[in-house]
């Protein structure tokens, strides 16, 4: 359930909303479904735990097991 940013074509309201795969998002102001999805920006890296080189486990949600995908991303090479 990703968080998407939208602009309503009817009232020009800008908003973000969690969207499930089967949902059709609507504007919270006017309830229109005539929306333009905005380009999502990648969040900045999490604050590092150590002062040395980045190692698996530095990211807030990373446990070093590779389950988050960051350990195999090449970021720590």
28/49 same-domain check: no
Q: H/E/C letters for each residue in 11-76?
A: CCCEEEEECCCCCCCCCCCCCCCCEEECCCCCCCCCCCCCCCCCCCCCCCCCCCCCCCCCCCCCCC
Structural domain for 24, as ranges: 3-37
Which of 48, 44, 56, 3 lies closest to 25, judged by CA? 3
Note whether 8 and 31 are same-domain residues.
Answer: yes
pLDDT of residue 29: 95
Q: Cα(5)–Cα(70) distance, rounded to whole angstroms?
A: 24
Does residue 57 share a domain with residue 32? no
Q: How many domains does the chain have?
A: 2
| More confident of the two residues 61 and 21 | 21
Q: What is the pLDDT of residues 31-62, one digit of tens each?
A: 999 999 987 666 556 555 555 655 554 445 55
The percentage of residues in the chain with a pLDDT greater than 70, rounded to a whole number, is 49
What is this structure's pTM? 0.50
């Amino acid at each position: 359930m990703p968080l998407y940013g939208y602009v309503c074509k009817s009232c020009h309201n800008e908003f973000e909303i969690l969207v499930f795969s089967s949902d059709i998002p609507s504007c919270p102001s006017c309830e229109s479904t005539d929306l333009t999805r905005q380009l999502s920006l990648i969040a900045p890296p999490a604050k590092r735990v150590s002062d040395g080189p980045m190692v698996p486990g530095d990211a807030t949600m990373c446990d070093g097991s590779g389950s988050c995908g960051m350990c195999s991303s090449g970021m720590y090479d």
